[in-house]
Chains A and B, each alone.
Chain A
Amino acid sequence: MSDDLVPEMHDIGKLVDWRIIKKTISEELKIDDLKQVHSHSFVLWNTTADQKVDYLKDVFGVDEPESDTWKVINYHHVDNLPEKLEEPLKKDVDVFLIRLADGMASAISRAMTKQEKKEIEELVKGYEKRSVYKLWHPEKIQDLNIISIGGFPEVVNFIHGNPTGDEFLEDDKKYKQLLLARPEEFMRSIDITSLYTHSKLVGKFYRFFEGRIRAEAPDRISFGGNIANSPENAESQWKVKLIKCSVKLTQNPVRGSDLNVFEKLKEIMCEVSEIDNVLFNSSTEFLAILPLYEDVESIIKPFLDGGFYLEVEEAHTKVGNIYPTPKSIKEREYKDLQERIKKINSNNNMPLERKEELKREKEDEFQRKFPVKIIYSKLNPMIDIPICEVCQMAKGDKEWPKDYVLGKLCADCKERVIEDEWPFNADKLCKTCLKHIRMLFEEFLTENLCENCFETRSMGHRLPKIMRWSYSEDNPKVAWVKISIDIDKLVEVLKILYLQYLEDLKIPDPEKYTDMRLSVFSEFQWDYNKFLSNIIGNGFKEALISGLNCDNKFIKGFGDKDVQAILDDFFCIKIDKTSDVNKILKIYNNLFTKEYFPKFKDLESPIKLSISCSNIKFAFFWHWKFLENPQNDVNVNLVGKGEMHLNMGQLDEILNLDMRQFGTHSLHKLSEVSKVSKKLSKVLLYDKGDWRLYREYDGLRSLLEGGIDFPNILTYAKIMSDQERGVK
């Protein structure tokens, strides 16, 4: 194994238009029997002379690189290699690992045999080469400028310069855009992931194994005590565990400064997502791969130290059976278990008791492979009073704000008040100290906090806008907005969309090929992150610094001063009136259905939007309970007034409602009547007593008849009841 090997670059040859390159070399060197050792290798073979063709210097004037990266670029496909090369490469550990990682990072499972692949290729070859087919947005086609003669020497020189993986993948001026647009495979039906995603994953998988394998002999590689002699053999012999971790707060934040816990979460998640084991992440969940012998705590420790707890699902399986989530692996392997049980049942020579015993053994063995646990940092079996008032999971040793203030005072002041009860007598403090802690003097209540919650609160004002709004006497209205992703639902939805794609291509038996791999997930993550950054990524200031345009729709819509980002998918907007929620819904709907995920609109979306509104001083943890558990694709909670839960189709219907049809008071009236009786407000929709009002409610009645529940319509009416009314 080599230190300088950059696995991400193994497929750089796919960026080159080899048809033209080969033609040029053939003409220049006058060699007819020119063969590439594999479809994207830089090594060309003269089949007549049975020797390598040295064309780089003669045709392009560049030197041939000599690194290990160059080796794996050229030889990571060992099928049909010239005999001279085959033997030594078969025993090369670097090539072994790249081939293994390459297979694991491919778009779909190995269910497709070479013969089937050939047949499908025949079937779809009429289609032109195009950019990646995004299952969630097929119409989005990117420019694809494959490198031709002009750019070829630069590619070789780039490899020669031994760049890092990041320099290859992340440099916008180099190959990043091409890598993003170029599918891993051009063949229609498996062109669903980009070369960028594939290369990144190969890098992760390669490094995951690199530090953990042992070469027992040149062709015997051991991982976790299991030996394999080829990458195909490793897929069935080596075992790993895939884990899905959901990070949960022990805290129930109430105050603005307790929201610092999200800042902590963001920092830790950012750090953890950089680890090679981590394959997919959102702001609160991640998927990672571990060897069977490694404890899950090795990866989640930073979260535990930060005071979080985690729900962990594991799947212990063979390397070749790694599918996107533990649940999807469990579902697949459950089918195998049923087959085995069926075999036991059909064995007529076995006594019934033995059959039952065997079945139980198989069941238990199966369940042991899929443990589900909740992992906490150290918990005491018993806590003496007082318990921490924020998390209720540890002793409340610290007094807020007394202990915090004592930490800020000079030695003299501290000595004077250390024995006093809070609030301290201001006369005992010097002017400088008093200035530092003036704001805290408004707090006359004492809270008992544990070390961890005390530290989080002491972090200061990490979310300055929220702090400003909290201290404002206006007690402004705010909307807490959270976008979440259901990873298990994502697997289901992508499977459905992939099946639709295969059916459109008229592939026979499409169900056979729908077991997609992690790379489709990673491909999705790229678009999902872009979607989030379009919502609340870089603020105006960051955009100015980076020189990019600020394309954050919410900041554009509400103004930078009224939007506070908390996590990548969680933010707070100061709103003037509840009808501003409609503006949030419109921005979201536009981005979601038009720019990013139009195909999710007709299915149950794995991406959920939750909005919870109240004035800023309302206890945050009540909002969090709502935001954390979305019931439908779009969820809105008006504290004390009602909730609305819609799917994306219904959201479209509601947003298409022409608000100009409503007069000055019709929505307000509906909202007020519902305070007395919800049933009465429903009757009001159909009451022909006031003909004018009856006409104004036409739109709401049609929503009701279209299948949207009355409570949802009523909540929408309440949202809109304070809008500036249009003139009919």
Chain B
Amino acid sequence: MKFIEYTITSDLLCMGERIKKGQFRPTVATIPYSQISGALKAVFGYKDIHAVGYFPFNNEQEFRGKHTQILTYSPRDRAINTSILPLYIEYLTDVEGKVFIAETDSIKNKLESNESISIYMGAFKSKGFGSCALKDRRKISEEDLYIREGTLNTRIPIVKAKDMNGMDGNSYKGLIDEGKTTEFLKDNFCIEKVIKARYGYLFEPTSKTSGCYILSLFEGSVVKGPGFLLRDTDRGDGNE
């Protein structure tokens, strides 16, 4: 499997984790599969696109301190001409990260050019958030994957919704609980085994109006996979 690496930059980015009581929308500090793959599909059409990314930092709190801001926004109900509830939106400013796109047949030709790609990602696009530029294209060949153990830097689903049709999804989770990997993780991201799984759910649209949440590996999971998806992990034996 080959990958294409881009540098992603954005002035304002809100990749909302969820909405609490309709009032709070924190942002994540990585670039999940669902966000970047969705944004690329919006540009290139509904193709077989698998991408992930992250913002490089050593200390998340420091990164958040430097790059996150809170916007208080009050949507106006035009019918009654009042703003009812303020929303607290956490967003990232002036961020630069890395995006890795699996070089599948359906996307290969579209990514031949060295020109930068403009995408819109995350929430509040209509309010001016989410404009991103992908530039500095670089190919990662199979020899450059440097498969090793480390801590995952991003969020990836363990399987796609369509692959679960008619099958017991627990068998996929079972594989991971045994320290193995799933076909999806292996084929698209060269993850050979999952040593410690930190789970969460990522949204996957199943039609234009509907979708479901898929069990996913979140940042902090320990896997054996390509070096570019990982940050160093403490082995706990006093050895760096």
Interface residues in chain A, defined as those with a beta carbon under 8 Å from any beta carbon in chain B = 252, 254-255, 313, 326-327, 330-331, 334, 370, 372-374, 376, 379-385, 387, 389-390, 392-393, 445, 447, 619, 621-622, 626, 629, 631, 640, 643
Q: Given known contacts A381-B215, A382-B214, A384-B212, is B196 in contact with A313 (CB within 8 Å)?
A: no
Q: Given known contacts A382-B164, A382-B169, A387-B213, is B20 in contact with A254 (CB within 8 Å)?
A: yes
Q: Tell me the number of A-to-B contacts counted with CB atoms below 8 Å.
A: 97
Contact in complex: B20, A382 (CB < 8 Å): no
Q: Given known contacts A629-B61, A643-B65, is B158 in contact with A381 (CB within 8 Å)?
A: yes
- Return chain A residues, CB-CB under 8 Å to B20: 252, 254, 389-390, 619, 621
B198 at the interface (CB under 8 A from A): yes
Contact in complex: B158, A372 (CB < 8 Å): no
Q: Given known contacts A379-B173, A382-B164, A384-B212, is B199 in contact with A389 (CB within 8 Å)?
A: no
Docked Cα-Cα span, A527 to B31, in Å, equals: 44
Q: Tell me the nearest residue of chain B to A630, going by C-beta.
A: B61
Contact in complex: B236, A381 (CB < 8 Å): no
- Return chain B residues, CB-CB under 8 Å to A380: 169, 215
Task: Give per-residue flags for B55-66: 1 if the beta carbon is below 8 A from chain A beta carbons, else 0.
Answer: 000010100010
Distance (whole angstroms) from the CB of A42 to the closest CB of chain B: 46
Q: Given known contacts A252-B20, A254-B24, is B196 in contact with A374 (CB within 8 Å)?
A: yes
CB pairs A–B below 8 angstroms (26 shown): A254-B20, A254-B23, A327-B236, A330-B238, A372-B196, A372-B222, A372-B236, A374-B196, A379-B215, A381-B170, A381-B215, A382-B169, A382-B212, A382-B213, A383-B213, A384-B212, A387-B213, A392-B18, A393-B201, A619-B24, A621-B20, A626-B61, A629-B61, A640-B70, A643-B61, A643-B65
Q: Tell me the nearest residue of chain A to B172, going by C-beta.
A: A381
Task: Give per-residue flags for B202-215: 1 if the beta carbon is below 8 A from chain A beta carbons, else 0.
Answer: 00000000111111
Docked Cα-Cα span, A330 to B239, in Å, equals: 10
Contact in complex: A622, B65 (CB < 8 Å): no
Contact in complex: A445, B21 (CB < 8 Å): yes
Distance (whole angstroms) from the CB of B187 to the closest CB of chain A: 18
Q: Given known contacts A330-B236, A372-B196, A389-B21, is B164 in contact with A383 (CB within 8 Å)?
A: no
Q: Which of A331, A374, A387 is close to B198, meaning CB atoms less than 8 Å apart?
A: A374
Distance (whole angstroms) from the CB of B55 to the closest CB of chain A: 17
Distance (whole angstroms) from the CB of A674 to the closest CB of chain B: 14
- Return chain B residues, CB-CB under 8 Å to A331: 236-238
- Return chain A residues, CB-CB under 8 Å to B65: 643
Docked Cα-Cα span, A437 to B21, in Å, equals: 19
Interface residues in chain B, defined as those with a beta carbon under 8 Å from any beta carbon in chain A = 17-24, 26, 59, 61, 65, 70, 85, 88, 158-159, 161, 164, 169-170, 172-173, 195-201, 210-215, 222, 236-239
- Return chain B residues, CB-CB under 8 Å to A621: 20, 24, 26
Contact in complex: A447, B173 (CB < 8 Å): no
- Return chain A residues, CB-CB under 8 Å to B198: 374
Distance (whole angstroms) from the CB of B214 to the closest CB of chain A: 6
Contact in complex: B238, A334 (CB < 8 Å): yes
Distance (whole angstroms) from the CB of A420 to the closest CB of chain B: 20
Docked Cα-Cα span, A393 to B18, in Å, equals: 12
- Return chain B residues, CB-CB under 8 Å to A330: 236-238
Contact in complex: A370, B236 (CB < 8 Å): yes
Docked Cα-Cα span, A293 to B149, in Å, equals: 28
Q: Which of B21, B70, B169, B201 is close to A387, meaning CB atoms less than 8 Å apart?
A: B201
Contact in complex: B169, A381 (CB < 8 Å): yes
Q: Which of B20, B26, B238 has the most CB of A within 10 A?
A: B20
Contact in complex: B21, A313 (CB < 8 Å): no
Docked Cα-Cα span, A376 to B218, in Å, equals: 14
- Return chain B residues, CB-CB under 8 Å to A376: 199
Docked Cα-Cα span, A379 to B237, in Å, equals: 31
Contact in complex: B197, A385 (CB < 8 Å): no
Docked Cα-Cα span, A619 to B72, in Å, equals: 13
Q: Tell me the nearest residue of chain A to B64, going by C-beta.
A: A625
Contact in complex: B201, A254 (CB < 8 Å): no
Contact in complex: A622, B26 (CB < 8 Å): yes
Docked Cα-Cα span, A622 to B159, in Å, equals: 30
Distance (whole angstroms) from the CB of A657 to the closest CB of chain B: 24
- Return chain A residues, CB-CB under 8 Å to B170: 381
Contact in complex: A389, B201 (CB < 8 Å): no
- Return chain A residues, CB-CB under 8 Å to B158: 381
16 other contacts beyond A331-B238, A381-B172, with CB at 8 A cut-off? Answer: A330-B238, A331-B236, A334-B237, A334-B238, A373-B196, A374-B197, A376-B199, A381-B159, A382-B161, A382-B164, A383-B213, A384-B213, A389-B19, A389-B20, A393-B200, A619-B26
- Return chain A residues, CB-CB under 8 Å to B237: 330-331, 334, 370
Contact in complex: B21, A255 (CB < 8 Å): yes
Distance (whole angstroms) from the CB of B142 to the closest CB of chain A: 23
Q: Tell me the nearest residue of chain B to A631, going by C-beta.
A: B61
Q: Which of B19, B21, B197, B199 has the most CB of A within 10 A?
A: B21
